[in-house]
């Protein structure tokens, strides 16, 4: 069944523009409630990030769900992985996250988790879409759902994060700068690292509804880089708006991306004999990281971009560790989805126990020059297949030969085509990526 509303990561768009409107989200809440109620399920959690539109989205989803006879538990601001965790532990039938992740404040989206904290099966998403085609009919008054707050959600999630490392593990003596992106982790992330003993300087932790991801967080770590150097910190940690991504910064202010963090965690687990199978990256993963993993005799496989594809590949192979260069890292032995705080703790274990700097831990990786440009177009999938674009890619690939690769990917969450070129010569790939970007831009005009 072709999807009308659900994309690769739930339903997302600009607030006030269909489908992120009060009318549609009310209908969506009702449709989801109908589907879960028909399966004998009656409790759904709702968490959100710090966007100003979250108030509106939360209210109408609650109304839609309760009108379908489903009880609701509201958590307020809570990282996406926190919602996944609490959905499991509170024995809810599903969890909903109101967030557009790393996007600006004027976007928002709706993501669903099943009772196990996993993304919904295609069958359930299709059933919800089918209900959306029907007119809303409210249940009888004595069957309406009820809504309550979850008063201890923050504390529950903090304790979960701390429990993902050994009880004796301590961050005492570690000085770090924590960038919360003015997002959903602003109140929980500082608690986790502080309670484990670290000296924490927190930045971008004063959300006002409009500043989420604005010049901060994992998509804009420049301010973090500067602050780490200025304060003489050991390292920096940057999360994104909904807390499922992680980027780190070493003591010299150099960005350590998701590929490198993935290597750091994998190498440590392999040395401890706890790495199950190999590592799943994506087609965007840097070739230098793949080579570094293979030099450690760690198997590596590339999945399509998107945590859904990484997760699917991990489960098919029976592996536990995977992720993306963007910092969306999955440790399946600890969480069902990407979790920035949990991933940071896993990366800190070899740093602290080995008494090494972050820079020393990833020094073995020889990153291959890679440049990516996002080109805004109206129909990304169509433009990526345009004849002029395909011809330009073939010409560029011929120039690179066997020493590089090119990837054109329509985004599943934004109206852009991502143009990536990787190769040995930084000057050459910079020229090629901008030439290709211009072709894509012209094809969309």
What is the spatial distance between Cα 96 and Cα 101, in angstroms, rounded to a whole number? Answer: 13
CATH number of 293's domain: 3.40.120.10
β-partners of residue 47 are 76, 97
Q: Which 3 state secondary structure label does DSSP give 234?
A: coil
Give a yes or no: residue 3 inside a domain.
no
The residue from 221, 256, 291 where one domain ends is 256
Two tokens, residue 95:
């969890």
* Catalytic-labelled residue, pool 53, 101, 285, 411: 101
Q: How many whole angstroms separate alpha carbon 410 and alpha carbon 380?
A: 5
* Residue 436: CATH number of its domain: 3.30.310.50
Report the distance separating Cα 172 and Cα 193, nearest Å: 10
Over the stretch 396-410, which tens digit does the pLDDT of each residue have? 999 998 878 999 989
Do 116 and 212 fall within a single domain? Answer: no
Of 222, 256, 290, which one is at a domain's C-terminal end? 256
Alpha-carbon span 47 to 45, nearest angstrom: 7
Asked whether the bond before 19 is cis by omega within 30 degrees of 0, the reply is yes
Within this chain, do residues 388 and 424 fall inside the same structural domain, yes or no?
yes
353 is a domain residue: yes
Domain assignment present for residue 23? The answer is: yes
pLDDT for the residue 293: 97
Q: Which of residues 346, 367, 388 is at a domain's end? A: 367
Regarding whether 134 and 16 lie in a shared domain, the answer is: yes
321-323 sheet: strands from edge to edge = 300-303, 279-282, 321-323, 329-331
Contact criterion met (CB below 8 Å) for 415 and 12:
no
pLDDT for the residue numbered 402 = 80
pLDDT confidence band for 187 (50 / 70 / 90): very high
Mean pLDDT of all residues in the chain? 95
pLDDT score for 40: 82
Instruction: State the helix-helix crossing angle for 22-38 and 54-67, rounded to 10 degrees.
Output: 40
pLDDT 10s digits, 323-373: 999 999 999 999 999 999 999 999 999 999 999 999 999 999 999 999 999
Q: Output the CA–CA distances (angstroms, integers) from residue 198 to 130, 202, 296, in the order listed.
A: 50, 12, 30
Residue 321: helix, strand or coil by DSSP?
strand
For residue 430, being part of any structural domain is answered with yes
141-184: per-residue pLDDT in tens? 999 999 999 999 999 999 999 999 999 999 999 999 999 999 99
Please state the domain count of the chain.
4
With vertex at residue 202, the alpha carbon angle to CA 254 and CA 349, rounded to the nearest 5 degrees, is: 60
**In-domain check, residue 221:** yes
Domain interval for residue 87? 11-150
Sign of the CA dihedral with 221 first, then 224, 230, and 232 last: negative
Please indicate, yes or no, whether residues 344 and 410 belong to a single structural domain of this protein: no
Nearest-5° Cα angle at 240, 331 to 257: 60
Close Cβ partners of 354 (under 8 Å, ≥ 6 residues apart): 361
Q: Distance between CA atoms of 339 and 341, rounded to whole angstroms? A: 6
The tokens of 68 are what? 């379908």
Domain assignment present for 391: yes
pTM: predicted TM-score of the whole model, two decimal places:
0.91
Within 8 A by CB and 6+ apart from 55, the residues are none
Write down the pLDDT at residue 8: 77
Same domain (yes/no): 296, 181: no
| pLDDT level of residue 319 (50, 70, 90 thresholds) | very high
> Is 325 part of the annotated catalytic residue set?
no
Which residues, 6+ apart, have CB-to-CB distance to 172 below 8 Å? 197, 198
**Are 174 and 348 contacting, i.e. CB atoms less than 8 angstroms apart?**
yes
pLDDT at 1: 52
| Bridge pairing between strands 175-179 and 147-149 | unpaired
Q: Quick one: average pLDDT of 54-73?
A: 98
- Beta-strand relationship, 279-282 and 321-323: parallel
390 and 335 in a single domain? The answer is no
- Are 112 and 20 members of one domain? yes
Give the residue among 160, 145, 158, 156 at the shortest CA–CA distance from 73.
Answer: 145
Radius of gyration of the CA atoms of the chain, in A: 22
Q: Are residues 301 and 241 in the same domain?
A: no
Asked if residue 253 has pLDDT above 90, the reply is: yes
What pLDDT, in 10s, does the model give residues 254-280? 999 999 999 999 999 999 999 999 999
The β-bridge partners of 111 are 97
Backbone angles phi, psi at 145, to 5 degrees: -75, 165
Residues 137 and 49 in one domain: yes
C-alpha to C-alpha distance for 222 and 67, rounded to whole angstroms: 46
- For the cut 90, the answer to whether the pLDDT of residue 445 exceeds it is no
Same domain, 52 and 146: yes
Same domain, 307 and 267: yes
pLDDT at 2: 62
- For the CA atoms of 21, 327, 318, 306, what is the dihedral angle to 10 degrees? 40
User: Judging by beta carbons within 10 Å of its beta carbon (0-12, 13-18, 19+), is residue 68 exposed, middle or buried?
Assistant: buried
Residue 1, domain member (yes or no): no
What pLDDT, in 10s, does the model give residues 79-114? 999 999 999 999 999 999 999 999 999 999 999 999
Q: Please tell me the predicted confidence (pLDDT) of residue 103.
A: 94
Same domain, 128 and 210: no
Residue 155 lies in a domain: no
Cβ atoms within 10 Å of 374's Cβ, excluding its own: 15
């Amino acid at each position: 069944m072709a999807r009308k509303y659900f994309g690769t990561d739930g339903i997302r768009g600009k607030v006030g523009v269909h489908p992120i409107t009060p009318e549609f989200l009310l209908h969506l809440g009702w449709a989801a409630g109908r589907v879960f109620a028909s399966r004998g399920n009656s409790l759904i959690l709702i968490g959100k990030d710090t966007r100003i539109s979250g108030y509106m989205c939360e209210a109408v989803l609650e109304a839609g769900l309760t009108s379908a006879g489903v009880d609701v538990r509201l958590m307020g601001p809570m990282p996406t992985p926190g919602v996944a965790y609490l959905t499991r532990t509170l024995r809810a039938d599903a969890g909903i996250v109101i967030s557009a992740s790393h996007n600006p404040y004027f976007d928002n989206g709706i993501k669903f988790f099943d009772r196990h904290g996993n993304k919904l099966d295609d069958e359930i998403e299709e059933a919800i879409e089918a209900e959306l085609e029907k007119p809303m009919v409210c249940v009888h008054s004595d069957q309406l759902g009820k809504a309550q707050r979850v008063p201890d959600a923050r504390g529950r999630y903090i304790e979960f994060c701390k429990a993902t490392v050994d009880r004796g593990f301590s961050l005492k003596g570690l000085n770090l700068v924590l960038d919360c992106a003015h997002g959903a982790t602003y109140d929980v992330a500082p608690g986790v690292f502080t309670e484990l003993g670290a000296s924490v300087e927190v930045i971008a932790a004063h959300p006002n509804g409009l500043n989420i991801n604005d010049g901060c967080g994992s998509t804009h770590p420049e301010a973090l880089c500067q602050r780490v150097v200025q304060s003489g910190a050991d390292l920096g940690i940057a999360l994104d708006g909904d807390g499922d991504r992680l980027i780190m910064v070493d003591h010299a202010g150099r960005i350590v991306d998701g590929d490198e963090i993935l290597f750091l965690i994998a190498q440590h687990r392999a040395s401890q004999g706890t790495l199950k199978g190999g590592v799943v990256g994506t087609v965007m993963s840097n070739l230098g990281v793949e080579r570094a993993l293979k030099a450690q005799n760690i198997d590596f496989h590339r999945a399509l971009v998107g945590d859904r594809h990484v997760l699917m590949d991990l489960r098919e192979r029976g592996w536990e560790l995977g992720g993306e260069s963007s910092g969306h890292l999955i440790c399946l032995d600890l969480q069902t989805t990407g979790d920035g705080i949990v991933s940071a703790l896993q990366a800190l274990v070899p740093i602290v126990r080995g008494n090494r700097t972050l820079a020393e831990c990833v020094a073995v990786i020889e990153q291959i020059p890679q440049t990516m440009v996002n080109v805004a177009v109206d129909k990304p999938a169509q433009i990526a297949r345009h004849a002029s674009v395909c011809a330009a890619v073939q010409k560029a690939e011929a120039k690179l030969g066997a020493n590089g690769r090119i990837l054109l990917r329509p985004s599943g969450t934004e109206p852009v085509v991502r143009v990536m070129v990787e190769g040995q010569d930084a000057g050459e790939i910079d020229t090629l990526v901008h030439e290709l970007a211009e072709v894509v831009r012209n094809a969309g005009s």
